[in-house]
Amino acid sequence: EAQVTQNPRYLITVTGKKLTVTCSQNMNHEYMSWYRQDPGLGLRQIYYSMNVEVTDKGDVPEGYKVSRKEKRNFPLILESPSPNQTSLYFCASSLYAWTEEQYFGPGTRLTVT
Amino acid sequence: DAKTTQPTSMDCAEGRAANLPCNHSTISGNEYVYWYRQIHSQGPQYIIHGLKNNETNEMASLIITEDRKSSTLILPHATLRDTAVYYCIVRVRPEFEKLTFGTGTRLTIIP
């Protein structure tokens, strides 16, 4: 089944403890991106990747890192999480950046205390 | 990207057509109109997109006005499973890597 998977789905952590949220797609898509969703603010793009080893900042990249060493994986790294990074995170992929349809993962709900 | 304006919420009776409006009065000639929906904190789902002609697929129809300043997403026979937040997005081809969501319209289908 074609899908985007994220792990973990739920995570509660403490301020400053490094964490990684994994994202994987099995559709051989070149484009992948990360979004966060907060009440009243909609979805905001954090980082995106046009292809392996090519990443760029979205609208809200501060406090996040990403890497794209393989086409299928695009992990989101929070080196020192803070409470303002408590949010619902979505990974998405599409064949190319300009492809009409982006496929979204199920989401990761992160709470930083 | 052009800014979009959508009503915050709408209700529609089950079985009726749901018409969701979107205003994008500052849209430029090379910007496409996209619609996505999000069902209760699940990942957003692509519905349809168009440039200037009306479009139809198995999920919905998209009607874009001749001046392209507004559009309407039509769900022809709404079901309870169509209850979701619907996002209207405009996207310019050279910057396709960015997909900017607003706050959308919360559509509730009433039994």
Q: How confident is the model at residue B72 (pLDDT cuts 50, 70, 90)?
A: very high
Q: How far apart are CA A60 and CA A110, in angstroms?
A: 16
Residues paired with residue B92 on neighbouring β-strands, in sequence order: B31
Q: How far apart are CA B66 and CA A18, in angstroms?
A: 51
> How far is the CA of A42 from the CAs of A5, A6, B37, B42, B99, in angstroms?
21, 20, 12, 13, 12
Query: What is the model's pLDDT at position B31?
Result: 84
Residue B58 has pLDDT above 70, yes or no: yes
Query: What is the model's pLDDT at position B2?
Result: 58
Q: How confident is the model at residue B95 (pLDDT cuts 50, 70, 90)?
A: low
pLDDT tens across the length of chain A (113 residues): 889 999 999 999 999 999 999 999 999 999 999 999 998 888 899 999 999 999 999 989 999 999 999 999 999 999 999 999 999 999 999 998 777 788 999 999 999 99
Residue A96 structure tokens = 């190319």
Query: What is the model's pLDDT at position B78?
Result: 96
A33/B97 CB distance under 8 A: yes
Residue B1 has pLDDT above 70, yes or no: no
**Residues 6+ away with beta carbon under 8 Å from A113:** A12, A13, A14, A15, A83
Residue A68 structure tokens = 């794209």
Judge residue B94's burial from the number of C-beta atoms within 10 Å of its C-beta, 0-12 exposed, 13-18 middle, 19 or more buried: exposed
Query: What is the model's pLDDT at position B94?
Result: 54
Interface of A with B in 63-102 (CB under 8 A): 88, 90, 92, 97-98, 100-102
Please count the CA atoms within 13 angstroms of the CA of B69 that sit on its side-chain side.
Answer: 3
A42/B42 CB distance under 8 A: no
> How far is the CA of A8 from the CAs of A5, A13, A47, A69, A106, in angstroms?
9, 12, 19, 20, 10
- Does B5 reach chain A within 8 Å, measured CB to CB? no
Query: What is the model's pLDDT at position A40?
Result: 82
Residue A3 structure tokens = 């899908």
Higher per-residue pLDDT: A98 or B59: B59
Residues paired with residue B34 on neighbouring β-strands, in sequence order: B49, B89
Interface of B with A in 50-69 (CB under 8 A): none
Residue B61 has pLDDT above 70, yes or no: yes
Query: What is the model's pLDDT at position B41?
Result: 83
Q: What percent of chain B clears pLDDT 70, i.e. is strictly above it?
A: 93
